[in-house]
Amino acid sequence: MVKVYNEKTGKTLTIPFQGKVKELLKKTGHNPTTVLVVRKRELLTDEDIVAKNDKIEFRSVISGG
């Protein structure tokens, strides 16, 4: 199971997933232009692979004000 922490909402989603970042974004309903995807303090590209048991963080790129 992949854990996805959303910085914007402060919520963590646990989902069965294995595949590319862009597929994870699509599955969770995020536009790739609006989020940074982070794993272990490293930025991932849309083409990187998310493995089972990965902990992922979505960080919104849109300013809050």
Binding positions for another protein, rule: CB under 8 A: 7-8, 20, 31-34, 36, 38, 42-49, 59-65
Q: How far is the CB of 4 from another protein (least distance, A)?
A: 16
Q: How far is the CB of 7 from another protein (least distance, A)?
A: 5
Q: Which of 62, 49, 65, 60 is nearest to 2 (CA)?
A: 49
Do 41 and 55 form a contact (C-beta atoms < 8 A)? no
Between residues 3 and 20, which has the closer beta carbon with respect to another protein? 20
Between residues 10 and 16, which has the closer beta carbon with respect to another protein? 10
Between residues 32 and 55, which has the closer beta carbon with respect to another protein? 32
* Spatial CB neighbours of 57, under 8 Å, sequence gap ≥ 6: 4, 5, 6, 7, 37, 38, 39
